[in-house]
Chain A
Amino acid sequence: MDSMQTLISSITIAKPWGIDIPNYFWFTGSSAAAFIISSFAHVFGWKKYKPIAGISLLMAFVLLVAAPLNLIDDLRQPGRILNFFLYGWENFPTSPMKWGVLLLLAYPILIFFEAQALYRPYFVRKAKKSGFLGKIFYTVMTFGRTDLSPEALARDHRLGFVLGAIGIPLALAVHGYTGYILGAVHANVMWHTPLMPIIFLASAMVSGTGLLILLIPFFQRFLSDRHKVDTDMVATLATLLAWFIVADLVMRFLWLTFSLTFADGEKYALYSYFRLHFMDTLLIDYLLCLFIPLIIGFTRLKHIPVVVYFGGLVTAVGVWIFRWNTVIGGQTIPRTTPGFLRYLPPVTGQDSIVSMLANWGVLIALICLVLLIFPWDEEMIDCYKGAEHGQQ
């Protein structure tokens, strides 16, 4: 008892990152996953994924256009965004944030050009059929290449392949760097692990597939001329999701077993954190949001679409919660004052629940815009007809 110590008074700071950051991580992660799934067809040539490759690519694009808005909202001085590009380049090797913004600029541009190569033949046909304004618009979207000869189509195909191949490492980097940002912070016991970028990538594949499981059937049923959900595709995505969950669980197992058991003295803080959140982490994060979708994907349940939609929804939500628990939970661990900190996002204002919902609003608006502009529907139907890309 002679070593008893009591805190009488102390001060600790408010932590910098709020609700925008887990939301941002979720958006980039899901974008990377959607891009990888589109690359299954465009780069690896897996025919099974061809019908959903186009729409996945478009979803990757909108998610990544909407994602950085979270970051701008999180900045306390968003008007100084130019300073990022002008100053501080000596920190380039050591500041993952510096890499990230460059990746965030390059990646959506690449996706846009890949989508343009994929949909160019459709733009050409649309330009021919449309009225005056439509003609101008779709001609611009063809970038002036209106040739529909087999050679030109082969060129589009090749361009799509090349951009997709460059895009795969870029997609992995654009999300992997977010894990790197956290992993590089050695002051935070929860974040500081070299596994963090891989954990983030694995959970990103889970959330992105979950999101596509919800969106693609919705688009097929309600927004496409097909008016029918491809249930085989839903089952395929459910199995894919299950495999991604396996990868995610392996990563999390490695992370938690090492950091809780074999880490140095600071493991006690982590131990204390997980003890405090044991039931909600175990029941919500693992049992509901990972194990149940895992079972769905590997059993005959995957042939019941409603069950798969449920699995998709809980994984998408579950990974959002995981992002929250990592970013916010990591920050609640004290550094120089005893006791966990507490964070409740404000309802309005910067970095608030409303700003996050507004970001989702932007995402939905962008989805609508992209679905209007890009002839995803015709392309998807063509793929289902078994026709080659771009030919009728």
Chain B
Amino acid sequence: MGKENSRRSFLKTGLASTGLALLASSKANAFSLKNPGRDARDARYIGQKGKHFVMVLDLRKCIGCQACTSVCKVENQVPSGQYRTFVTETEVGVFPQVRKAFLPQLCNHCENPACVPVCPTGATFKREDGIVVVDNTVCWGCGYCISACPYDKRYFNKKTKTADKCNFCAQRVDKGLMPACVETCIGGARVFGDINDKHSEVARLLANFPTTVLKKAQGTRPQVFYINLDNRVTELFDTTQDLDDMVKAEQGFEREWMKVREEAINNG
């Protein structure tokens, strides 16, 4: 009996100490409903309480210069060939009644985002000020949020190997600055601000102009609003001409050029 008891007590002590050691070692990686940054109430994760940031894109003023596209890449160190925002350039109408139409696109920071609830690691979430962010120290790169976004505004960042997207330049906004794209927009087409502040520019624009959002039927309630969005431009999204043909045409064109150049060189 004594022997059994000592074995039992040995097991008990062993189990208890192992349990304690495990608990102590896992303190840094504690089990969480959310993620460590949110649990620690880190300001970068919580955002600015009481505010609700939105963007209004006044398409009457967009000239398709892509300044926003390039400054975003610089500010957020977006790898080459990848974009958090860009401006789609289209042409509508038939000559001579023809004009260019531009559509700046970015994460819509939806009120009811499709990407956040499917995230299995809690790496992506909505801050209290409405900005949807990705914690690239937690994301394990499964791509579910990228599949879930109806706007194709998430991608795998080649450098961090995690999901990435526009964060309204939260790093700037938290310091009282404007997002880089807003700051650099030469036409003043991009307007950013707190919709809860009734004197803000965004509140004024939303109150005075009819606005629309992309893919309303998705039920995500986007927080990026467009003024003067031409229906014909969004119709383009549903057209499904085979991109292959376009690529082939382009490649064929390049090959032609190479041939002409070679011939020119050969002929001196």
Separation of A174 and B189 alpha carbons in the complex (Å): 49
Set B91, B114, B120, B162: member contacting A91, Cβ < 8 A: B120
Which A residues lie within 8 Å of B86 (CB)? 10-11
Q: Is A186 an interface residue (CB 8 A)?
A: yes
Contact A268 B238 (CB under 8 A): yes
Contact of A187 among B141, B148, B156, B235 (CB under 8 A): B148
Q: Are B97 and A2 in contact (CB under 8 A)?
A: yes
The answer to whether A219 has its CB under 8 Å from any CB of chain B is: no
Query: For the complex, is A90 an interface residue (Cβ under 8 Å from B)?
Result: yes
B240/A333 in contact, CB under 8 A? yes
Q: Which residues of A contact B149 (CB under 8 A)?
A: 187
With a cutoff of 8 Å between Cβ atoms, the chain A residues found around residue B246 in the complex are 339
Is B204 an interface residue, CB under 8 A from the partner? no
Point out the residues of chain B lying under 8 angstroms from A96, CB to CB.
118
B161 touches A265 (CB 8 A): no
- Please tell me if the beta carbons of A181 and B144 are within 8 angstroms of each other in the complex: yes
Cβ-defined contact, B142 with A75, below 8 A? yes
Whether the Cβ atoms of A17 and B138 lie closer than 8 Å is no
Residues of A within 8 A of B120 (CB): 84, 88, 91, 95, 97-98, 101
B29 touches A186 (CB 8 A): no
> Once the chains bind, are B138 and A340 in contact (CB under 8 Å)?
no
> From DSSP, what is the main secondary structure of chain A's interface residues?
loop
Q: Which residues of chain B have C-beta atoms less than 8 A from A88's C-beta? A: 32-35, 119-123
Residues of A within 8 A of B97 (CB): 2
Q: Is the CB of A76 within 8 A of B141?
A: yes
| Contacts of A333-349 to chain B: CB distance below 8 A | 333-342
Q: Tell me the complex Cα distance, A239–B119, Å.
A: 42
For the complex, what is the distance from the CA of A86 to the CA of B140, rounded to whole Å?
Answer: 12
- Let me know if B92 is at the binding interface, CB within 8 A: yes
**Would A83 and B121 be within 8 Å (CB), given that A265-B238, A340-B240 are in contact?**
yes
B152 close to A269 (CB less than 8 A)? no
Tell me the chain A residues, 310-350 only, with Cβ under 8 Å from chain B. 331, 333-342
A5-B235, A11-B83, A86-B29 known; A97 and B114 CB under 8 Å?
no
CB distance from B169 to the nearest CB of A (A): 19
Question: Interface residues of A, CB < 8 Å — how many?
Answer: 65
Q: Is the CB of A339 within 8 A of B218?
A: no
Can you name the residue of chain B whose Cβ is closest to the Cβ of A14? B155
A86 to B121, CA, bound (A): 8
**Which A-B residue pairs are the 6 nearest by beta carbons?**
A76-B141, A16-B143, A88-B122, A339-B243, A187-B150, A94-B117
B240 and A338 within 8 A (CB): yes
Contact between B94 and A1, CB atoms less than 8 A apart: yes
Judged by a CB distance under 8 angstroms, whether B88 is at the interface is yes
Chain A residue nearest to B234 (CB atoms) is A336
| Chain A residues within 8 Å of B, Cβ to Cβ | 1-17, 71, 74-78, 80-84, 86-91, 94-98, 101, 181, 184-188, 264-266, 268-269, 272-273, 276, 331, 333-342
Interchain CB contact (< 8 A) of B217 among A2, A82, A264, A273: A264
Cα A187 to Cα B89 with chains together (Å): 23
Asked if B236 is an interface residue, CB under 8 A from chain A, the answer is yes
* Bound CA span A11–B82, Å: 9
**B121 & A10 in contact (Cβ 8 Å cutoff):** no
Q: Does A97 lie within 8 Å of B90, measured CB to CB? A: no
Name the residue of chain A whose CB is nearest to the CB of B165.
Answer: A13
Report B86-134 residues with CB < 8 Å from chain A CB: 86, 88-94, 97, 100-101, 105, 114, 116-123
For B152, list chain A residues within 8 Å (CB).
12-13, 334-337
Are A89 and B141 in contact (CB-based, < 8 A)?
no
Q: Measured between alpha carbons, how far is A218 from B36 in the docked complex, in Å?
A: 52
6 A/B residue pairs, CB under 8 Å, sorted by A: A17-B147, A86-B31, A97-B118, A187-B147, A187-B151, A337-B152
The answer to whether A80 and B138 have CB atoms under 8 Å apart is yes
Q: Are the CB atoms of B118 and A7 closer together than 8 Å?
A: no
- Which one, A4, A15, A77, A341, contacts B94 given CB within 8 A? A4
Task: Assess A77 versus B139: contact at CB under 8 Å? Given A89-B33, A186-B218.
Answer: yes
Residues of chain B within 8 A (CB-CB) of A89 are 31-33, 122
Query: In chain B, what residue has the closest Cβ to A334?
Result: B240
Residue contact B240 to A185, C-beta cutoff 8 Å: no
Chain B residue at minimal CB-CB distance from A83: B121
In the complex, the answer to whether A95 meets B144 with C-beta atoms within 8 Å is yes
Max chain A C-beta neighbours (<10 A), residue from B118, B149, B151: B118
Besides A336-B152, A339-B242, 15 other A-B contacts (C-beta < 8 A): A3-B232, A5-B235, A76-B140, A77-B139, A86-B32, A87-B123, A88-B121, A91-B116, A91-B119, A94-B117, A264-B217, A266-B238, A268-B238, A336-B105, A337-B237
Q: Are B243 and A341 in contact (CB under 8 A)?
A: yes
Q: Contact: A187 with B114, CB < 8 Å?
A: yes
Residues of B within 8 A of A17 (CB): 143, 147
The chain A residue sitting closest to B30, CB to CB, is: A86
Contact pick for B151, options A2, A11, A87, A335, CB 8 Å: A335
State the CA gap A290–B125 with chains docked (Å). 43
Contacts of B138 in A (CB 8 A): 80, 83, 87
Q: Which residues in window 33-75 of B have CB below 8 A to A?
A: 33-36
Q: Is the beta-carbon distance between A87 and B144 smaller than 8 angstroms?
A: no
| Closest A residue to B232 using CB positions | A5
Chain A residues contacting B154 (CB-CB under 8 Å) are 13
Tell me whether A76 and B162 are in contact (CB under 8 A).
yes
Chain A hits for B101, CB < 8 A: 5
Q: Which chain A residue has the least Cβ–Cβ distance from B145? A: A16
Considering the chains assembled together, what is the distance between the CA atoms of A75 and B146 in angstroms?
Answer: 13
Contact B123 A83 (CB under 8 A): yes
The CA of A67 and the CA of B139, in the complex, are separated in Å by 22
Residues in B with CB closer than 8 Å to A276 are 240, 242
Chain A residue numbers with a CB within 8 Å of B89 are: 7-10
Could you say which of A1, A184, A187 contacts B218, with CB atoms under 8 Å apart? A187
Contacts of A16 in B (CB 8 A): 142-144, 146-147, 156
Task: Tell me the bound Cα distance from A248 to B17 in angstroms.
Answer: 54
